[in-house]
């Protein structure tokens, strides 16, 4: 049955100059690559913009750490120090400029960093996405997919895959016309990461607000 699902997935896809590209095989290899890792460390540049307000753009950068099961830590270094951390159950967002912590449940968050949570769980394109389109960009390929669930906090996700099956860029389109783009560099697979890195300890005097719906 799984082979037939991949066949129909391929039939649904649009191709742009990619006649020799096997999408179903690529997605399976991509799942294997990320599902078999235990930890990952990668530098990121994150840009938030809005289609209706092109001048309202914000760019930040730092280092992302992932550890299975269910843990991730975004250490923002430029232009301001911030932290976005998941311990597998809860999410904590800390802003040093405000000395404020926002806490929410991982499954209930609408934060646009949430699509990266698939890297700390189990990547399953059949479960999470539909209506794939492939576009060639040099030696890389953009894969555009729409979420299966209408409850997803985004309307579309685009992955830029390198020939080595690294996700080099990720674009997430939100319901509010926002576009969150991530660029990933210097990826390290399975580095040694201490569990303590994913335990949140609020700084002294920080205001803590539970924003769970």
Q: Is the pLDDT of residue 109 over 60?
A: no
In a domain, 1, yes or no: no
pLDDT at 113: 52
Q: What is the DSSP string of 144-208?
A: EEEES-TTSSEEEEEEEE-TT--EEEEEEEETTSEEEEEEEEEEEES----GGGG---PPTT-EE
Q: Which of 47, 72, 49, 73 is nearest to 60 (CA)?
A: 47
Q: What's the whole-model pTM score?
A: 0.80
Report the CATH number at residue 122.
2.50.20.10
In a domain, 169, yes or no: yes
Q: Can you give the residue range of the structural domain that contains 91? A: 13-192
Per-residue pLDDT reduced to its tens digit, 49-89: 987 776 778 999 999 999 988 888 999 999 988 999 988 88
pLDDT at 40: 92
In a domain, 2, yes or no: no
Number of domains into which the chain is organized:
1
Alpha carbon 211 to its chain centroid, in Å, reads 21
In a domain, 206, yes or no: no
Residue 28: helix, strand or coil by DSSP? helix
């Amino acid at each position: 049955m799984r082979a037939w699902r991949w066949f129909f997935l391929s039939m649904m896809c649009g191709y742009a100059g990619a006649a020799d590209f096997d999408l179903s095989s690529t997605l399976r290899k991509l799942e294997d690559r990320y599902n078999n890792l235990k930890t990952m460390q990668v530098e990121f540049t994150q840009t938030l913009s809005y289609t209706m307000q092109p001048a309202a753009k914000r760019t930040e950068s730092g280092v992302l750490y992932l550890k299975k099961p269910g843990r991730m830590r975004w250490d923002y270094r430029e232009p301001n120090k911030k932290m976005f951390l998941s311990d597998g159950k809860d999410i904590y967002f800390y802003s040093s400029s405000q000395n404020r912590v926002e806490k929410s449940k991982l499954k209930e968050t609408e934060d646009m960093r949430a699509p990266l949570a698939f890297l700390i769980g189990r990547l399953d394109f059949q479960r999470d996405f539909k209506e794939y389109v492939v576009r060639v960009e040099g030696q890389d390929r953009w894969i555009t997919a729409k979420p299966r669930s209408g409850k997803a906090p985004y309307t579309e996700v685009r992955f830029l895959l390198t020939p080595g099956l690294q996700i080099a860029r990720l674009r997430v389109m939100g319901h509010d016309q926002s576009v969150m783009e991530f660029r990933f560099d210097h990826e390290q697979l399975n580095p040694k990461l201490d569990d303590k890195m994913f335990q949140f300890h609020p700084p002294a005097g920080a205001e803590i607000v539970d924003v769970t719906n």
